Amino acid sequence: KKKLKISGRELLSVPIQVFGLDQLQVLEMSPERESCLRYRMELLPQEIGRLRNLTCLYVDSNNLKKIPAEIGTLSCLERLTLSNNSLSSLPAEMGALQRLQSLHLANNSLTELPVPVCQLRSLTFLDVSDNKIDTIPSSIQHLEKLETFLLLFNSLESLPEDVCLLRNLHTLWLGNNHLRSLPAAFGELVNLDWGYNYCSCNFEGNPLQSPPPEVCSRGPEGIRDYFSSLRRI
């Protein structure tokens, strides 16, 4: 069996029999895609590290408070969804998940972007919306392949210049933070999709002053022109 979904409102733990399925590739223990329910699992057991062939692990909408260090042994993992839990930190061993492409951490209790996340060189999708993150470490620049970065509903007061080195970004949502300014090099993110069908760069709900919101709406060229004009003054 390569795919397994375990469901039930009273789900409290991973059934021990699961850890004998050493060929398992997809394990889903989340109500996320079928309802707004939460399951009640508070802990992933250390034995999760036995499932060395896992490529997808879905544990959204539980009550997880901690992720075991053994998660770092899942070297085939490409997708990990941990949104809607009670996580305040992640183990350093997560930095070993070098095949991980998609990481969902929205609606937890994170106060900073965990350093192990910035070590995931294959990451293309990162959602840390609706936490309490107030700083982004300079090591963010190592996420060279990152295309989608969702930071809505956090406590950011500033963005480090290193964010502007993420040249593969196509979507960056910054809405509902405390941002008053953007880095001078922000306009260098020329791969952001400033299309007319949807806004891939969201600033709403920030007290932006530099550049002002009307300048942000003009896209990277308008932002570059704004900062160039400041340097000429």
> Nearest CA to 181 among 155, 206, 202, 198?
206
pTM of the entire predicted model: 0.91
pLDDT at 194: 61
Q: How many CB atoms lie within 10 A of CB 11?
A: 17
Give the β-pairing of 56-58 and 26-28.
Answer: parallel
pLDDT tens digit sequence for 165-186:
999 999 999 999 999 999 988 8
The domain locations on the chain are 110-232
pLDDT(197) > 70: no
Name the CATH code of domain 110-232 (choices 3.40.50.2000, 3.80.10.10, 3.40.718.10, 3.40.50.1000): 3.80.10.10
CB-CB contact of 137 with 118 (8 Å): yes
Residue 98 makes CB contacts below 8 A (sequence gap 6+) with 75, 120, 121, 122
Q: Higher model confidence: residue 77 or residue 196?
A: 77
Residue with token string 């997880």: 64
3-state DSSP of 102-128: EEECCCCCCCCCCHHHHHCCCCCEEEC
Neighbours of 233 (CB within 10 A): 4
Q: Is 135 exposed, middle or buried (0-12, 13-18, 19+ CB in 10 A)?
A: middle
Q: Give me 111's structure tokens.
A: 């106060």
